[in-house]
């Protein structure tokens, strides 16, 4: 498909480039921007307690520079900075960083947030691309230069009023990869001179971002090498990289730019961030680790880190994510399983042949170094993992079991497998799923549910429910702000179980006229217990209410045991 809307970006002319022949041998320094760039892009940004837990996790991993927020942009971020400082949550060797635009009142507010900090980095940015200057801000290179220099001088002056604090400065020409390079160089020289206090011991951080990934990775590396060659104070600046993943190449762009001379990498765990995200620091750091480079970051409990990030952000880690994904060290193919098993058994021989301690087919790193295990999830028995069981149902029946429900499913499958004392088939897994979650035995049977929209407000529902309770028909009516809400209110008055439904998952199984809606509903009990029920119907609302009844029967069954 051809279109006149797009064209390839012009190559960056540098015929004597040196970076392609270099090999990375040392680690960059790392800066996490999870609590700013990552958090601002979450559908539901973290609350202060969640951010504090995340911050403490980043410190345990080993990050020495953490961008904690944009304190002049929101009261929440400002208060979080004050919490970190006033309650002494910042380790002595960790710098917290705060982002600000090059505007005087925002800079002043940022320094209010930093009051009393031991180690801080003030990070100022200004857009330098022609696209932004002309189309967004209505300015030019002269105006941008003036704003950046004035902001830097103001930051310097305010830093001088805090002699008890180690205040460093980071400057970002936003959209570096879309900026005219000679202009960017002159701008950064002017910022360096305005700061006037950079030394090899306390360098100025020049963060050169691929804010939007419009170029291939080699262009980014060329631009970084060109900039470093022409900047006159190389020993007193730290060249920082900040790549976004719009074209899916942020990791490659970052690694090539490190070869080109970058000193520092900004990014997020698992690539959270605007649009397609920031560069994934877990992947970049573990890539270097897999090549024998000491990174200073500890991912030896990566599964726990991933679970914590999922819980705090509400964003799942993709199951094939490098290093952290559920299937990252899983072989489904029999030939892959066989090769890995043989390689593991001959690991000592591989050391002699290849001159390294780890050389195993299909596994480029030892999963144990990351707190992981090699898993085989095709064959299901009492020892099989929840992911493998869910995979079988999805592959063979199109049933996508929510991750939160998988532990309950695994428990039921395990009990069945232990009872029969053998490996079980996918048909048997499906039978367990149907009997234990869709049609569980119990005292409750749905006779009918009739939701009716209100005459004046169609989003408000009047519901009538008829349920057979141990052979006795009972009826209840209730209202709600939706058909499920009305159903829950009515059913609670009948069954005598205190529960709520916060959310539920739904999917379509099959296609066309034969498609069925499948609803997976977690019933939250008093005391924070969760029990899932599953319902199936041609109508999604009816599938959901059937799932509620299934969950109630499962609860009743658990009480009888």
Alpha-carbon 19 to chain mean position: 31
Q: What is the pLDDT along the chain (561 residues), one digit of tens a residue?
A: 667 788 888 888 888 999 999 999 999 999 999 999 999 999 999 999 999 999 999 999 999 999 999 999 999 999 999 999 999 999 999 999 999 999 999 999 999 999 999 999 999 999 998 888 888 888 899 999 999 999 999 999 999 999 999 999 999 999 999 999 999 999 999 999 999 999 999 999 999 999 999 999 999 999 999 999 999 999 999 999 999 999 999 999 999 999 999 999 999 999 999 999 999 999 999 999 999 999 999 999 999 999 999 999 999 999 899 999 988 887 755 466 567 767 877 888 887 888 888 998 888 999 999 998 755 444 455 555 566 677 678 878 889 999 889 889 989 988 888 888 877 788 898 999 999 999 999 999 999 999 999 888 888 889 999 999 999 999 999 998 888 999 999 998 898 888 888 778 888 887 766 778 999 999 988 777 899 999 999 998 999 999 999 999 999 888 766
Residue by residue, DSSP assigns 148-180 as HHHHHHHHHHHHHT-TTSEEEEEEEEETGGGS-
Q: Tell me, what's the pLDDT at 347?
A: 86
Q: Record the pTM.
A: 0.69
Q: Tell me, what's the pLDDT at 137?
A: 81
Question: What does the buried/exposed string (b/e) look like for 157-168 if buried means 16 or more CB atoms within 10 Å of the residue's CB?
Answer: ebbeeeeebebb
Q: Tell me, what's the pLDDT at 132?
A: 83
Q: Which residues, other chains included, contact 259 with Cβ-Cβ below 8 Å and sequence gap of 6+?
A: 19, 20, 22, 23, 24, 221
Q: Tell me, what's the pLDDT at 379?
A: 46
With 0-12 CB in 10 A as exposed, 13-18 as middle and 19+ as buried, what is 278? buried
DSSP 370: G
CB atoms within 10 A of CB 352: 7
Q: Tell me, what's the pLDDT at 378?
A: 41
Q: Tell me, what's the pLDDT at 333?
A: 55
What Å distances lie between residue 525 and 412, 440, 469, 547, CA to CA?
A: 20, 18, 20, 15
């Amino acid at each position: 498909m051809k279109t006149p809307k797009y064209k390839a970006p012009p190559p960056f002319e540098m015929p004597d480039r040196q970076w392609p022949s270099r090999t990375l041998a040392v680690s960059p320094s790392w800066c996490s921007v999870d609590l700013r760039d990552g958090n601002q892009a979450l559908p539901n940004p973290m609350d202060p307690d969640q951010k504090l837990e995340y911050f403490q996790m980043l410190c345990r991993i080993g990050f020495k520079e953490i961008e904690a927020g944009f304190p002049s942009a929101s009261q929440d971020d400002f208060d979080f900075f004050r919490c970190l400082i006033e309650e002494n949550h910042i380790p002595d060797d960790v710098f917290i960083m705060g982002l600000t635009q090059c505007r005087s009142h925002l800079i002043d507010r940022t320094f209010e947030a930093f009051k009393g900090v031991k180690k801080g980095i003030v990070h100022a940015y200004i857009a330098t691309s022609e696209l932004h200057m002309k189309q967004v801000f209505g300015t030019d290179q002269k105006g941008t230069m003036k704003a950046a220099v004035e902001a830097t001088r103001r930051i310097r002056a305010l830093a001088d009023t805090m002699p008890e604090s180690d205040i460093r400065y980071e400057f970002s020409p936003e959209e570096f990869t879309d900026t005219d390079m000679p202009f960017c160089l002159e701008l950064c020289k002017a910022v360096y001179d305005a700061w006037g206090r950079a030394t090899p011991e306390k360098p100025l951080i020049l963060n050169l971002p691929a804010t939007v990934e419009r170029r291939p990775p080699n262009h980014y590396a060329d631009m970084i090498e060109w900039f470093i060659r022409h900047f006159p104070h190389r020993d007193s600046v730290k060249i920082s990289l900040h790549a976004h993943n719009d074209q899916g190449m942020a990791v490659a762009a970052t690694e090539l730019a490190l070869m080109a001379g970058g000193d520092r990498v900004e990014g997020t765990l698992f690539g959270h961030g605007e649009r397609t995200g920031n560069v994934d620091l877990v992947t970049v750091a573990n890539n270097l680790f897999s090549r024998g480079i000491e990174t200073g970051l500890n991912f030896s409990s990566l599964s726990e880190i991933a679970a914590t990030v999922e819980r705090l952000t509400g964003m799942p880690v993709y199951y094939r994510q490098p290093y952290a994904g559920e299937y990252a060290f899983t072989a489904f193919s029999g030939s892959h399983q066989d090769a890995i098993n043989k390689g593991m058994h001959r690991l000592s021989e591989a050391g002699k042949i290849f001159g390294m301690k780890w050389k195993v087919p299909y596994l480029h790193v030892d999963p144990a170094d990351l707190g992981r295990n090699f898993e085989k999830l095709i064959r299901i028995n009492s020892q099989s993992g929840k992911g493998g069981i869910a995979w079988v149902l999805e592959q063979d029946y199109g049933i996508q079991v929510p991750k939160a429900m998988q532990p309950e499913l695994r428990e039921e499958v395990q009990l069945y497998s232990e009872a029969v004392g053998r490996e079980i088939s996918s048909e048997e897994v499906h039978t367990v799923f149907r009997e234990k979650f869709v049609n569980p035995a119990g005292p409750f049977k749905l006779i009918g549910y009739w939701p009716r929209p209100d005459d004046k407000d169609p989003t408000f529902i009047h519901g009538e429910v008829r349920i057979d309770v141990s052979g006795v028909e009972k009826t209840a009516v209730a209202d709600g702000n939706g058909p499920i809400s009305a159903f829950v209110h009515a059913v609670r008055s009948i069954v005598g179980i205190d529960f709520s439904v916060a959310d539920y998952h739904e999917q379509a199984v099959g296609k066309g006229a034969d498609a069925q809606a499948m609803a997976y509903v977690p019933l939250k009990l008093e005391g924070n217990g969760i029990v899932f029920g599953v319902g199936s119907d041609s109508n999604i609302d009816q599938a959901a209410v059937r799932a509620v009844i299934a969950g109630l029967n499962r609860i009743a069954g658990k009480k009888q045991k």
